[in-house]
Amino acid sequence: DTAVSQTPKYLVTQMGNDKSIKCEQNLGHDTMYWYKQDSKKFLKIMFSYNNKELIINETVPNRFSPKSPDKAHLNLHINSLELGDSAVYFCASSPRMGGSEAFFGQGTRLTVV
């Protein structure tokens, strides 16, 4: 059983398009996150979401918006994609806020052309 699953694993799209990445966790965790990993492997928090409380990293452009239909899902919508958005995006979950023992998905490699 996959604890944190993301779809798609690979996504290639043109500049200006709008795309979504889906994430689901079956761990019963209360908190979910989105991280961005750049080409140098640097992992940066984008959002954390707990019980309908959304905490946004202020450096994330407002073209990025997380949406959580329920506690087990946190999807990432990206509008007007730019070349610089190319990266690997990781969804993660943890039992509670604070990031303790966060479990990560396998990542979605987004390539904007």
Residue 21 to residues 41, 44, 103, Cα–Cα distance (Å) = 20, 17, 17
CA-nearest of 64, 103, 54 to 87 is 64
Per CB under 8 A, does 16 bind another protein?
A: no
Which residues are CB-neighbours of 34 under 8 A, at least 6 positions away? 23, 45, 46, 47, 66, 74, 76, 89, 90, 91, 92
Nearer to another protein, 51 or 80 (CB): 51
Per CB under 8 A, does 7 bind another protein?
A: no
Q: Which of residues 62-101 bind another protein (CB under 8 A)?
A: 90, 92, 97-101
CB of 98 within 8 A of CB of 43? no
Interacting residue with another protein among 39, 41, 52, 59 (CB under 8 A): 41
The contact mask relative to another protein for 94-113 (x = CB under 8 A, - = no) is ---xxxxxxxxxxx------
Tell me the C-alpha distance between 111 and 113, whole Å: 6
Interacting residue with another protein among 24, 25, 29, 50 (CB under 8 A): 50
Per CB under 8 A, does 59 bind another protein?
A: no
Binding site for another protein (CB under 8 A): 4, 31, 33, 35, 40-45, 48, 50, 55, 90, 92, 97-107
